[in-house]
Amino acid sequence: RPQHYLQACLQTAIFAYWGWYWRQVYDSYYLVIAQLVFAYAFDLLLSWSRRDHYRLSFLPFPIVFSTNLFLWFKPEWFYFQFMMLALGFAAKELLRWNKHGRETHIFNPSSFSLMVFSLGLILTGKTDITWGKEIAITQFYPPHMYLFIFLIGLPAQYLFGVTTMTMPAVMTTYLFGLAYYRATGVYFFFDSYIPISVFFGMHLLFTDPSTAPRTELGRMIFGSLYGLGNVALYYVLHSAGVPEFYDKLLPVPILNVMIQLIDRAAGSELLRRFDPSGFGRSLVGRRRNLAYIALWTIVFAMTSAAQGVGDKHPGQFVPFWQRACAEDRLHACAYLKVLHSNFCRQGSGWACNELGTLEAERELDRTAAVASFERGCDLGFMPACGNIERIINGSPATETASPALQDYPIILRGSKAPIAQLTPSALYALACSQGWPNTCGQNPQR
């Protein structure tokens, strides 16, 4: 089918671009090949067990690639990856129903197995045997990744009309994020309105036409429910102390089961008046798909201009959270501590000193504060050395200072990849653009 080889080509492009900035992708190429061989063999045996023929196709490619875009196991646990693929193919073959007079599979094959294994990892607390966290983080490393995914999604949207799912999912999540920011002064997803891994899911995971509603309004409801499902699950997972990246994986099979109910609701007296299929009746087939793409392009451009998506969301950067913490905004100090802790671990003495200050003055944890100050002192940030003595002597106040030049490559990266070698002037210019105090107009080379 065209959708299978098209998906395979587009997903290959994503792996190529992403892998350039996170080499673990390239290093795992042989494991992807092994999965493809296994997938073809398993699909062949499963088909022969139920019928007398087997149709060779590209189907295993999008299932394997889609699974690996969201979750894969570390090498010593990789046998679970094959089990996950087997479950996906078995679900496609065995879990079927009658949809509008045609027998078809109920679940998106990759999303069903991803949900089952995600639940298993959550319940056993074994997320660390996968690359799940790293996948969700590093997918944002390449420049302009939101734009790249937007462009990658266009061919499928033109051929298969899935824009009516993606656009409502994105806009529902974004509008919720805007409302949350207006109410609290901070961002629901902390460093973005829509995390990049969720944006991936909205384009590449839940948009299988075979497991989606048939009606236009039904697909819009389906997309909006996926966006709201991500929000709800993020809140639940975060509150439970569970890695939040599972939020995009869990709702898809639930929505797959609901598609016929959604289509019936879309055709009800109450909702029929909102059905967009009543507009532009002369636009049919791919001409209609193209019209939706044009609308989606305008919406995406406006959202990008408003920093709803893109590389420069303020929530990535320390100055925003410093201000929010000083104003006692919801969860601001806790997230600022996470940022300082990460940057301290990466080698910023300034971040270690700031972390120690938070621990000493806000959490009153002298032991943790001393450990952070010692780390900062070892990294050569002199105010941290003085703060060790202050804490030991019982002083209620600690000393803070501006970051040193060597701190900036670490603390300016935000949620992106490590910063490549920049001149001091370029570092100060970048710091100025992020809102760091006393950095605008600095030229240390003069």
Domain ranges of the chain: 2-305, 317-411
Using CA atoms, how far apart are residues 90 and 157, in angstroms rounded to an integer? 28
Q: Which residues lie across from 73 on neighbouring strands? A: 130
Q: What pLDDT score does 446 carry?
A: 46
Smallest CA-to-CA distance from 249 within 134, 116, 143, 379 is with 116
Using CA atoms, how far apart are residues 368 and 358, in angstroms rounded to an integer? 10
Smallest CA-to-CA distance from 371 within 356, 385, 358 is with 356
* CATH number given to 2-305: 1.10.3430
Question: 3-class secondary structure for 259-305?
Answer: HHHHHHHHCCHHHHCCCHHHCCCCCCHHHHHHHHHHHHHHHHHHHHH
Q: 62: helix, coil or strand?
A: helix
Cβ-based burial of 75 (10 A; exposed 0-12, middle 13-18, buried ≥19): exposed
Write out pLDDT tens, residues 371-380. Answer: 999 999 999 9
The mean-pLDDT minimum among 271-275, 366-370, 413-417 falls in: 271-275
| Main-chain dihedrals φ then ψ at residue 99, nearest 5 degrees | -115, 105
Write out pLDDT tens, residues 3-26. Answer: 788 889 999 999 999 999 999 999
Segment 68-84 mean pLDDT: 97
Q: Band the pLDDT of 283: cuts 50, 70, 90.
A: confident
Phi-psi bin for 144: left (phi > 0), alpha (psi -120 to 50), beta?
A: left
**Cα distances (Å, whole numbers) of residue 420 to 113, 220, 430:** 38, 41, 12
Q: Band the pLDDT of 436: cuts 50, 70, 90.
A: very high
Q: How far is CA 365 from the centre of its chain?
A: 33
Backbone CA torsion sign across 63, 66, 71, 72 = positive
Q: 69: helix, coil or strand?
A: helix
Please provide the DSSP assignment of 75-128 as one string: GGGTHHHHHHHHHHHHHHHHSEEEETTEEEESS-HHHHHHHHHHHHHHHHT-GG
Write out pLDDT tens, residues 157-206. Answer: 999 999 999 999 999 999 999 999 999 999 999 999 999 999 999 999 99
Q: 417: helix, coil or strand?
A: coil
Q: Chain-wide mean pLDDT for the chain?
A: 94
Task: Give pTM, 2 decimals.
Answer: 0.94
Q: Go through the chain and tell me how many residues it has.
A: 446
The mean-pLDDT minimum among 10-19, 43-52, 213-222 falls in: 43-52
